[in-house]
Amino acid sequence: MSDVDELKTGALAAVTAASDVRALEAVRVAVLGKSGTLTQLLKELGKTAPEERRARGAALNAVKDLVATALEARRVVLEAEELAARLMAERMDVSLPPPPDAFGTIHPISRTMEEMAAIFGAMGFAVAEGPDIETDWHNFSALNIPAHHPARDDHDTFYLPGTAGAPSRVLRTHTSPVQIRTMLGQEPPIRVIVPGRTFRSDHDATHSPMFHQCEALVIEQGITLAHLKGCVIDFLRAYFGIGNLPVRFRASYFPFTEPSMEIDIGWNRRTGELGAGGDWLEILGSGMVHPKVLANVGLDPRVWQGFAFGMGVERVTMLKYGMPDLRPFFDSDIRWLKHYGFSALAPYMAHEGVSA
Ligand code: PHE
């Protein structure tokens, strides 16, 4: 057998023996590739004696075509086999239940504000909102905090650059300006809560420059301090789920309420446990709406009375769930959010867990 015949027989056998597309490609490279056996013989054709060259060249080219055709035919067969095998292996069982989706969670701040809306909603409160960027007047002056009043220093205010002729603006330092907006915008009786963002230039483990408050405002006829106390006690006991949570009212000062009270709940300072332990924790500012504030929005203080209170949403959330640090609330760390977040499928039930 000539070397050309031998090469032909060997190459065709290798093509038939190739059991998958990769093996077939290896055969192609070994025979027809740049340094393949047949390519090599074609390159060496020049060294052949001139009288043999024509015949040998024709024979080599014929083998080349033959092998190329065989390769192509085998490729079609192997590809069809591989596709059939894949279709069998990847067959889908449509009767299987779907894999669980990766659900997100409700942020604890959102959850707490939903709880507040639910608890106060049951007491007849609507939710009111106001802008994050406030006029100096709404945030301070209308609330009986005039310019240069020392109470302004308590707020570490972010002042926005002024524009000539326009009222000066701040990032609201509390949700109380929405008291003003609500009283200007609707006739009493008024019962609203105001959950929302607030801003103060302060940053450490317990203070963030952006945080949340929830305000409450009631304006009706014949409203007294007793209503304020009952409302706050009911709310705190429902929110913390502790039916006999001790609540203490302590005289205090806010320019926009008179009298004013700070409100404490009972807890154990050492263990952090709420409800018992003999220690007190300040949690809310409150008071009867100041007659000057009522007058500032055009209400006659001899006819209308009311109360207001405000609290930090992060603070009550941290207390309820035993969270030690405020900063991760705003870090967007997926591990923290998974751990402390709430299932969207488990809606809050007002008064759940109240024990007495
Ligand atoms: N706005 C007060 C604060 O941010 C809280 C407060 C609200 C006090 C309503 C009394 C009445 O500290």
167-192, pLDDT tens digit by residue? 889 999 999 999 999 999 999 999 99
What is the residue with the minimal CA distance to atom 12 of ligand 1?
285
Ligand 1 center to 216 CA (angstroms): 9
From the CA of 179, give the closest atom in ligand 1: 9
Q: Is 174 near ligand 1, meaning CB less than 6 Å away?
A: yes
Ligand 1 center to 255 CA (angstroms): 9
Ligand 1 center to 286 CA (angstroms): 6
Residue to mutate, 172, 176, 213, ligand 1, most ligand atoms under 8 Å from C-beta: 176
Average pLDDT of the segment spanning 23-43 = 93
- Per-residue model confidence (pLDDT) at position 196: 97
- pLDDT tens per residue across span 294-324: 999 999 999 999 999 999 999 999 999 999 8
In the predicted structure, residue 216 carries a pLDDT above the cut 90: yes
From the CA of 176, give the closest atom in ligand 1: 1
How far does Cα 52 stand from its chain's mean position? 81
Query: Whole-angstrom Cα distance, residue 217 to residue 308?
Result: 4
Query: Whole-angstrom Cα distance, residue 158 to residue 136?
Result: 11
Is the backbone of residue 29 left (phi > 0), alpha (psi -120 to 50) or beta? alpha
Residue to mutate, 157, 256, 282, 289, ligand 1, most ligand atoms under 8 Å from C-beta: 256
Residue 12 structure tokens: 């065709």
Q: Is 309 near ligand 1, meaning CB less than 6 Å away?
A: yes
Query: Whole-angstrom Cα distance, residue 217 to residue 123?
Result: 12
Ligand 1 center to 336 CA (angstroms): 30
> Who has greater pLDDT, 226 or 204?
226
Distances (CA, A) of 344 to 105, 111, 196, 290, 341: 6, 9, 20, 40, 9
Is residue 355 very low, low, confident or very high in pLDDT (cuts 50, 70, 90)? very low
Report the percentage of the chain scoring pLDDT > 70: 97
Most confident of 153-162, 200-209, 291-300: 291-300
Report the percentage of the chain scoring pLDDT > 90: 76
The verdict on pTM exceeding 0.75 is no
- Per-residue model confidence (pLDDT) at position 272: 87
Residue to mutate, 178, 218, 254, ligand 1, most ligand atoms under 8 Å from C-beta: 254
In the predicted structure, residue 75 carries a pLDDT above the cut 80: yes
How far does Cα 252 stand from its chain's mean position? 37
In the predicted structure, residue 52 carries a pLDDT above the cut 50: yes
Residue 159 structure tokens: 């002042």
Is the backbone of residue 216 left (phi > 0), alpha (psi -120 to 50) or beta? beta
- Per-residue model confidence (pLDDT) at position 353: 44
Least confident window among 32-36, 152-156, 313-317: 152-156
Q: Is 262 near ligand 1, meaning CB less than 6 Å away?
A: no
Query: Whole-angstrom Cα distance, residue 327 to residue 204?
Result: 8
Q: Is 255 near ligand 1, meaning CB less than 6 Å away?
A: no
Q: Is 257 near ligand 1, meaning CB less than 6 Å away?
A: yes
Nearest to 71 by CA among 120, 133, 40, 29: 29
From the CA of 173, give the closest atom in ligand 1: 4
Do the beta carbons of residue 298 and residue 319 sit within 8 Å?
A: no
Distances (CA, A) of 193 to 116, 174, 175, 207: 8, 13, 10, 23
Is residue 350 very low, low, confident or very high in pLDDT (cuts 50, 70, 90)? low
- pLDDT tens per residue across span 76-86: 999 999 999 99
Query: Whole-angstrom Cα distance, residue 21 to residue 65?
Result: 19
What is the residue with the minimal CA distance to atom 4 of ligand 1?
174
Least confident window among 29-33, 37-41, 155-159, 279-283: 155-159
In the predicted structure, residue 356 carries a pLDDT above the cut 60: no
Q: Is 36 near ligand 1, meaning CB less than 6 Å away?
A: no
Do the beta carbons of residue 320 and residue 219 sit within 8 Å?
A: no
> Who has greater pLDDT, 272 or 286?
286
Ligand 1 center to 278 CA (angstroms): 26
Average pLDDT of the segment spanning 276-280 = 90
Ligand 1 center to 33 CA (angstroms): 84
- Per-residue model confidence (pLDDT) at position 152: 78
Average pLDDT of the segment spanning 102-126 = 94
Ligand 1 center to 176 CA (angstroms): 6
**Which residue is it, tokens 């309420």?**
257
Is residue 351 very low, low, confident or very high in pLDDT (cuts 50, 70, 90)? low
Ligand 1 center to 303 CA (angstroms): 23
Q: Is 310 near ligand 1, meaning CB less than 6 Å away?
A: yes
Do the beta carbons of residue 171 and residue 132 sit within 8 Å?
A: yes
Question: What letter represents residue 341's amino acid?
Answer: G
Query: Whole-angstrom Cα distance, residue 317 to residue 336?
Result: 14
- Per-residue model confidence (pLDDT) at position 317: 96
Nearest to 309 by CA among 197, 181, 193: 193
Indicate the Cα dihedral angle 236, 316, 154, 139, nearest 10°: -70
Q: Is 306 near ligand 1, meaning CB less than 6 Å away?
A: no
